[in-house]
C-alpha cells in the first residue's frame, strides 16, 4: 500500500495518545506501525493476521523504529482472541475482501464490533465489499456509519477500482442488537 493511502487512513483514525488499537489483518504492519508512533507511550497497537510470516516482518519493522508498544497476534479474524470491549479503535486496511463469502465477511465485521469498546471507532478501508460492511454495521446498531470514496490518489488501477472507507462508532451502551438481546434474556 502506498504512503499516501496509509497516511490518509491514519488521519481518519484520529489517533490519540493512550489508545488501545487493533490493526485487523495487518500483514506487514502498516498502518499499525504508524499508529503505534501516534498513540505512545501509553497506547498500544496489536497487529493481527493469519500469516505469522507477515507478522514477523511487521514486528521487525516496528523494532527497527524502536517501538515497544506494538505487538503481533497470529489468529483468524473470524474468531478474535480478545475479550469484548478491548479496543478504542479497530482498523482494517485492504483486507476483508480477501475473506471468501458474505457470511464469513459478516462474521469478521461482528467480531470487530464485539472487541470494540462502547464509544470506540471502527474503520475499514477496502476496494470491494464496503457496501456490505456498511449495511452490516447499520444492522448491528453501530452509529455514525459512513462510507466514502478516498479519492483519486487511492485508485488501485483507475477510477473503476477506488478505495472506500467505512467508519462507524459503537454506541456508548453497546450495539442495539446486543442490548436487545440482553433485555430479552434478563
Ligand atoms: C492485502 S493484505 C493487507 C495487509 C495490511 N492491512 C496492509 O494494509 O498492508 C491482506 C491481509 O489480510 C490477511 N488476511 C486474510 N484473511 C484473513 C483472516 N481470515 N484473518 C486474518 N487475516 C487475514 C492476509 O494474511 C493479508 O496479510
Nearest 10 degrees: Cα torsion 92, 95, 100, 102:
40
Q: Cα of 60 to ligand 1 centre, how many Å?
A: 17
- Which of 25, 57, 126 should be mutated for ligand 1, with most atoms under 8 A from CB? 25
Counting every residue written for the chain, the total comes to: 186
Q: At what angle do helices 52-64 and 32-39 cross, to 10 degrees?
A: 40
How many whole angstroms separate alpha carbon 8 and alpha carbon 167? 13
pLDDT at residue 111, as a whole number: 98
CB count in 10 Å sphere of residue 29: 26
pLDDT at residue 186, as a whole number: 39
Ligand 1 atom, smallest distance to 6 CA: 8
How many whole angstroms separate alpha carbon 32 and alpha carbon 93? 10
Domain CATH for 170: 3.40.50.150
Q: What are phi and psi of 154, to 5 degrees?
A: -110, 25
Q: Cα of 156 to ligand 1 centre, how many Å?
A: 17
Is residue 97 within 8 Å of 63, Cβ to Cβ? no
- Classify residue 98 by burial, with Cβ atoms within 10 Å: 0-12, 13-18, 19+: middle
- Which of 49, 105, 126 should be mutated for ligand 1, with most atoms under 8 A from CB? 49
User: C-alpha grid cell for residue 39?
Assistant: 498513540
Q: Tens digit of pLDDT per residue, the chain (186 long)?
A: 566 667 888 999 999 999 999 999 999 999 999 999 999 999 999 999 999 999 999 999 999 999 999 999 999 999 999 999 999 999 999 999 999 999 999 999 999 999 999 999 999 999 999 999 999 999 999 999 999 998 766 666 677 778 899 999 999 976 665 555 444 433
- Domain containing 37 equals 3-185
pLDDT at residue 48, as a whole number: 98
Q: What are phi and psi of 70, to 5 degrees?
A: -130, 125
Tally of structural domains, the chain: 1
pLDDT at residue 157, as a whole number: 66
pLDDT at residue 184, as a whole number: 44
pLDDT at residue 152, as a whole number: 65
Ligand 1 atom, smallest distance to 104 CA: 19
CA angle 96, 20, 61 (to 5 degrees): 70
Q: Cα of 50 to ligand 1 centre, how many Å?
A: 7
Amino acid at each position: 500500500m502506498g504512503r499516501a493511502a496509509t497516511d490518509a487512513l491514519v488521519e481518519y483514525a484520529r489517533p490519540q495518545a493512550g489508545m488501545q488499537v487493533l490493526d485487523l489483518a495487518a500483514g506487514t504492519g502498516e498502518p499499525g506501525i504508524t499508529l503505534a508512533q501516534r498513540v505512545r507511550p501509553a497506547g498500544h497497537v496489536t497487529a493481527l493476521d493469519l500469516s505469522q510470516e507477515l507478522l514477523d516482518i511487521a514486528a521487525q519493522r516496528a523494532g527497527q523504529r524502536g517501538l515497544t508498544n506494538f505487538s503481533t497476534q497470529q489468529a483468524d479474524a473470524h474468531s478474535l482472541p480478545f475479550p469484548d470491549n478491548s479496543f478504542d479503535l479497530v482498523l482494517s486496511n485492504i483486507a476483508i475482501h480477501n475473506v471468501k463469502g458474505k457470511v464469513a465477511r459478516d462474521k469478521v465485521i461482528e467480531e470487530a464490533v464485539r472487541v470494540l469498546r462502547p464509544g470506540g471507532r471502527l474503520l475499514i478501508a477496502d476496494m470491494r465489499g464496503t457496501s456490505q460492511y456498511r449495511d452490516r454495521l447499520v444492522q448491528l446498531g453501530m452509529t455514525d456509519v459512513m462510507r466514502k470514496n478516498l479519492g483519486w490518489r487511492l485508485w488501485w488501477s483507475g477510477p473503476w477500482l477506488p478505495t472506500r472507507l467505512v467508519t462507524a462508532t459503537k454506541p456508548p451502551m453497546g450495539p442495539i442488537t446486543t442490548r436487545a438481546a440482553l433485555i430479552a434474556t434478563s
